[in-house]
A and B are shown apart, each in its own frame.
Chain A
Amino acid sequence: MKAILRFVVALSSVVVALPAAAALNVFACEQEWAALAQELAGDKASVYSATNALQDVHKVEARPSLIARIRSADLLICSGSELEIGWLPLLLTQSGNAKIQPGSAGYVEASQFVPKLEIPKVVDRALGDVHPSGNPHVHLDPRNIARVAEALTERLVQLDPANADAYHARGNSFRERWRAALSRWEQQAARLKGVPVVVYHKDMSYFIGWAGMREAGSLEPKPGLPPTPAHLAELVERMKRDPAKVIVYSPYNSPRAAEFLSERTKIPSVMLPFTVGGTDKAKDLFGLFDDTIARLLEVVK
């Protein structure tokens, strides 16, 4: 036992040189929330995104590097609604960090601040990987970004009251710029109204809802299950009866299923950025919507 104690003391003295944390440490589960936190907090925060645009946020390893980051976080922002259920609970219990546990001021679930779509009436795993509290991919409705921004600004002020003025100023500026962009996007997206679209996963529903497009099918036979030849063959048949105008997929999906369907049906397929960093032009949240709409308008003539 003495040897153990000596070992512990020696180790803790080695790592005692803690980095002085001046800024608020923000841990975002996804790129879109990292980008939003950066917009709203500016240089007052140091923002870390747990995932990149090429990752499927349903399937993330609770890597040691993520535990190291969440350990020192002051604020956590994630989509919520069970999207990160395979990895976030593990990070939270291993973090040894009370500030970002559910229920504390540092824990923000973005999907709690927006009206949810596709809340299932029946919850059964036979239906695929369904989320009982609704579709969690809420960020692709630009109005939701504005809603979450309001809530996030409030939390920033609550956690770091010394910089309240700065957060309010940044929040107001973002709101104004977002409002202007929103009316621009609404005009541009008017041409997308009613356009039937085939998606890869149900991760585009909020955009489709906002733009007034119509989902005509999905490449996944059931949410979370990869496309199968039988399902694709059925989609080819369905497209003959009810042709879509565009097939979309995200950077984290393999393009092969979309290309297959596109070849067979002559319906153009297009990769949409899905989140910040998903394409070169989607550098921030404004770029994300600019590029998403531009890419769709290009194929939907």
Chain B
Amino acid sequence: MYRKETMALAVAAALGLPHAAEAQTQDEVRALREQVRQLDKRVQEAEATAQQAAVQASSRPTGENAMNPAVSVILNGIYSNLSQDPNAFRINGFVPTLGEVGPGVRGLSLGESELALAANIDHNFRGTLIASISPEDGIGVEEGYIQTLALSYGFTIKAGRFFSGVGYQNQIHAHAWDFTDAPLANKVFLGNQLGEDGVQLKWVAPTETYFDVGVEVGRGRQFPAGPAGGRNKNGVGSSTLFAHVGGDLGTGVAWQTGVSYLSTSPQDRSFDDPTGTSNSFTGQSRLWVLDGILKWAPNYNPTYTNFKLQGEYFRRKEEGDLTSGATAQTGGFASAQSGWYLQGVYQFIPMWRVGYRYDRLDSGTTSFSTPLTAADFPILAAYNPTRHTVMVDWSPSEFSRVRLQAASDKSRSDATDKQVFLQYIVSLGAHGAHKF
């Protein structure tokens, strides 16, 4: 606008002013003013047209690649300082899972990179592929699913590979976690993070208070199902039920709480005892999870300060037959175990957050029937692991984060692992959206 005016004046000066010097009468001045006004108008019109053209030019599709899906890449790198040997990591009192639950390698390492592609397939479906590229074993499919868009009445169906809706943290990608590693309970009950090949049906109620209920059936490709990769059978290897309620409180609090249930029948689910022998379990595994999350930000504006409280309680019952690799004998086995964590993360000034997490597991009761004895399974000896974790992170923009985390981990019954992690997590490309 300012430019417009100067331009109009300049033109007016060039055209009109030499005459104006000679102009004696009021009429002439008035005519000149009118001339300036006309010119100004013309400049404005020309600018508006140019602007419209620019709008059209910019919104013109650019050919074949105009329909490319949204692409984003997550990169992360970590420095780990561990007082105990990570290769000897175990969580005493609990059956070792098939997943990667250890604290990783010592020293500097490249974490798992993620490549995500997502787009609407047509008016009915949306597709998402998230590939994880680990520095050692190449490319894996972390999630790859289609999701309905057009079902209405609050229904959505997801099919493919996806993180199961059991609990709260399990559905969240590691790069969006508030701590470097998963809670101990997620490690022992879900093998770090449960991704299932299956179908999920979810329904959101037409109520002002949020309410959803969902059911998943899956292949049972990961712990607590087994064997790894799933059983060689038709039908369903695992099934999950979940329901959530959520809403707002006052002018800054949002909350959500949920209950979920996961049922599988593992067959020959094997685990290695620290002594090196391989045992296997066949039977029933049932897991209940209660979760709760509360977020606070003044007037729901998290830019300056915000607080997040998150906790989950897990309880698992397993019963069936256990085969000891050492004695080659099979007998009855039953266990009832639980665990929980509670964590709080506070952003005290823009970009900076601090957090604390407390983990506790309860090995509960385990019973062995003859010919098995508890002495055959030293890893399952009663022990209640705990862990304290603190972290501070700095996020100079929405797309980058640097985190320092320290933990005192009593997962092992005979040693405390003092851990320090320094980590960066960045995202490139399409702007991701994070679940509540």
Contacts and interface: CB of A to CB of B under 8 A. Distances in A.
Contacts of A188: none
B431 A193 contact: no
B204 A96 contact: yes
Given A68-B209, A115-B48, A133 B203 contact: no
B398 interface: yes
A211 B300 CA distance: 31
A55 B303 CA distance: 9
Interface stretch (B172-180, B210-218, B355-363): B210-218
B2 A212 contact: yes
A12 B236 CA distance: 23
B117 to A, nearest CB: 14
Interface string A1-34: 1001001100110010011000000000000000
Given A72-B206, A226-B350, A63 B246 contact: yes
A32 B69 CA distance: 31
A63 B241 contact: no
A203 interface: no
A62 B151 contact: no
Contact of B152 (A51, A69, A98, A225): A98
Contact of B302 (A18, A61, A68, A226): A61
Interface string A191-207: 00110000000000000
A4 B254 CA distance: 29
Contacts of B302: 59, 61
Interface in B330-363: 350-351
A113 to B, nearest CB: 11
Contact of B59 (A89, A95, A133, A224): A133
Given A65-B247, A133-B58, A54 B153 contact: no
B48 A52 contact: no
A4 B152 contact: no
Interface stretch (B49-57, B82-90, B379-387, B417-425): B49-57
A254 B349 CA distance: 11
B208 A97 contact: no
Given A96-B203, A225-B397, A54 B299 contact: yes
Contact of A93 (B147, B215, B246, B303): B147
B221 interface: no
Nearest to B124: A98
Nearest to B248: A65
Interface residues of A, number: 67
Contacts of B351: 226
B434 interface: yes
B295 interface: yes
Contact of B215 (A4, A52, A95, A254): A4
Contacts of A99: 152
A193 B5 contact: yes
A260 to B, nearest CB: 15
Contacts of A117: 51
Interface string B405-417: 0000000000000
B289 interface: no
Contacts of A8: 213, 215, 241
Contacts of B435: 62, 90
Contacts of B316: none
Interface stretch (A80-88, A179-187, A231-239, A282-290): A80-88
A125 B428 CA distance: 9
A169 B256 CA distance: 43
Given A86-B433, A129-B398, A65 B210 contact: yes
Interface residues of B, number: 69
Contacts of A65: 208-210, 246-248, 254
Contact of B256 (A64, A94, A102): A64
A2 to B, nearest CB: 11
Contacts of A116: 55, 58
A64 B244 contact: yes
Contacts of A265: none
Contact of B202 (A52, A88, A96, A125): A96
A71 interface: yes
Contacts of B123: 101, 103-104
B310 to A, nearest CB: 13
B155 A68 contact: no
A209 interface: yes
A103 B123 CA distance: 8
A55 B300 CA distance: 6
Nearest to A51: B300
B108 to A, nearest CB: 26
A252 B303 contact: yes
Given A19-B206, A103-B123, A64 B254 contact: yes
B241 A7 contact: yes
Interface string A206-231: 00110111100000000011100000
B152 A15 contact: no
Contacts of A7: 241
B149 A93 contact: yes
A119 B397 contact: no
Interface-central residue, B54, B204, B239, by most chain A CB under 10 Å: B204
A68 B398 contact: no
B286 to A, nearest CB: 11
Contacts of B5: 193-194, 212
B156 interface: yes
Interface of A: 1, 4, 7-8, 11-12, 15, 18-19, 51-52, 54-56, 59-65, 67-69, 71-72, 82, 85-90, 92-99, 101-104, 115-117, 119, 125, 128-129, 133-134, 193-194, 208-209, 211-214, 224-226, 252, 254
The 3 tightest CB contacts between A and B, nearest first, are: A64-B246, A212-B1, A64-B210
Given A54-B301, A85-B433, A97-B152, 15 more contacts: A52-B299, A55-B299, A61-B302, A62-B434, A62-B436, A63-B300, A69-B208, A86-B433, A93-B149, A96-B152, A101-B150, A116-B58, A133-B58, A224-B398, A226-B303
27 contacts: A4-B215, A8-B241, A12-B213, A15-B211, A18-B206, A19-B206, A63-B248, A63-B295, A63-B300, A63-B436, A64-B244, A72-B206, A82-B431, A86-B431, A86-B433, A86-B434, A89-B433, A93-B149, A96-B151, A96-B204, A101-B123, A115-B48, A119-B55, A133-B59, A212-B4, A214-B2, A224-B397
